[in-house]
């Protein structure tokens, strides 16, 4: 098998094949070595600093959480709003790390009615905008409220994410310092870590196109909208996801009719 390329250019079949055959791609010994080196690197990087990690319930952050806990970082956060799918929100509350603080950025149906282009993001630019106003805004709020020195992220170069320089650390214009210890981890390592450690995944991944969906369910809809019969395929696994989406669409339409 060829190594998995960037998420945006890897087909569903490639992801699924890699997940199915992950033990032949990454041995337990190879993964354990990568884990030990990463844990040691995290400990050295955050020594003497107040640190926490960002958790999104996506596959990368699920791996990150387990590794950060092993490195002694036990505080974390997740950015959410009032537009989350109930089934996803339920999964988050049932599976979030013990010391994970939920930071709600407040977007609701009234906001959505005024920003209908965000209902089904049609490109990565719209999805990035969503991350900026929810996840990134929540990270800034948590960082400042907790007086942190560093926030640990699950960003990886294999996804085309910006991670800073050689040390995978950068400080943005608002003074938030972010560190991505998984920056050099390939996709196969993430799949292997989840497999060997039997880590739970949210329902957005539990369908045949799941790995294309990205991390957070809301911006991930740009993928399900572009895949033929995407919502029907999810429905076959967990109909509550589709029902949640339908409720959001219907509520937004009714809200708009009411303010005309």
Q: Which range marks the domain in which residue 175 is found?
A: 7-259
- DSSP per residue, 80-138: E-TT--HHHHHHHHHHS-TTEEEEE----HHHHHH-GGGSS--SHHHHHHHHIIIIIHH
CB 160 within 8 A of CB 30: no
Q: Number of structural domains, the chain?
A: 1
Answer whether residue 187 is part of any domain: yes
Contact between residue 62 and residue 162 where contact means Cβ atoms under 8 Å apart: no
Write out the chain's pLDDT in tens, 260 residues: 677 777 667 777 787 888 889 999 999 999 999 999 999 999 999 999 999 999 999 899 999 999 999 999 999 999 999 988 777 788 899 999 999 999 999 998 888 888 888 776 667 787 788 888 999 999 999 999 999 999 999 999 998 889 999 999 999 999 999 999 999 999 999 999 999 999 998 876 765 555 554 445 444 444 444 444 444 454 444 555 556 556 656 666 666 666 55
Task: Let me know if residue 1 belongs to a domain.
Answer: no
Answer whether residue 201 is part of any domain. Answer: yes
User: Considering the domain boundaries, does residue 121 fall inside one?
Assistant: yes
Taking the whole predicted model, whether its pTM rises above 0.85 is answered as no
Q: Does the residue 2 lie in any domain?
A: no
The reply to whether 209 falls in a domain is yes
Instruction: Say if 183 falls within a structural domain.
Output: yes
CATH classification at residue 237? 3.40.50.620
Is there a domain that residue 98 lies in?
yes
């Amino acid at each position: 098998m060829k190594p998995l390329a960037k998420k945006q250019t890897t087909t569903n079949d490639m992801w699924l094949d890699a997940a199915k055959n992950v033990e032949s791609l990454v041995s337990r010994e190879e993964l354990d070595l990568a884990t030990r080196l990463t844990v040691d690197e995290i400990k050295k990087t955050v020594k003497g600093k107040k640190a926490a990690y960002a958790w999104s319930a996506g596959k990368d952050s699920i791996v990150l959480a387990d590794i950060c806990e092993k490195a002694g970082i036990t505080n974390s956060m997740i950015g959410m709003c009032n537009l989350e799918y109930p089934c996803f929100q339920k999964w988050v509350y049932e599976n979030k790390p013990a010391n994970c603080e939920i930071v709600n950025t407040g977007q609701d149906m009234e906001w959505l009615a005024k920003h209908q282009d965000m209902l089904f993001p049609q490109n990565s630019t719209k999805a990035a905008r969503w991350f900026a106003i929810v996840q990134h805004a929540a990270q800034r709020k948590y960082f400042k409220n907790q007086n942190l020195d560093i926030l640990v992220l699950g960003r990886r170069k294999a996804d085309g994410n910006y991670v800073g320089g050689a040390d995978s650390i950068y400080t943005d214009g608002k003074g938030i310092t972010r560190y991505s210890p998984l920056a050099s981890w390939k996709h196969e390592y993430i799949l292997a870590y989840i497999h060997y450690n039997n880590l739970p995944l949210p329902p957005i991944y539990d369908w045949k196109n799941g790995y294309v969906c990205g991390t957070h369910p809301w911006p991930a809809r740009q993928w399900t909208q572009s895949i033929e019969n995407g919502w029907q395929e999810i429905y076959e696994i967990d109909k509550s996801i589709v029902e949640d989406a339908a409720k959001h669409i219907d509520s937004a339409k009714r809200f708009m009719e009411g303010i005309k």
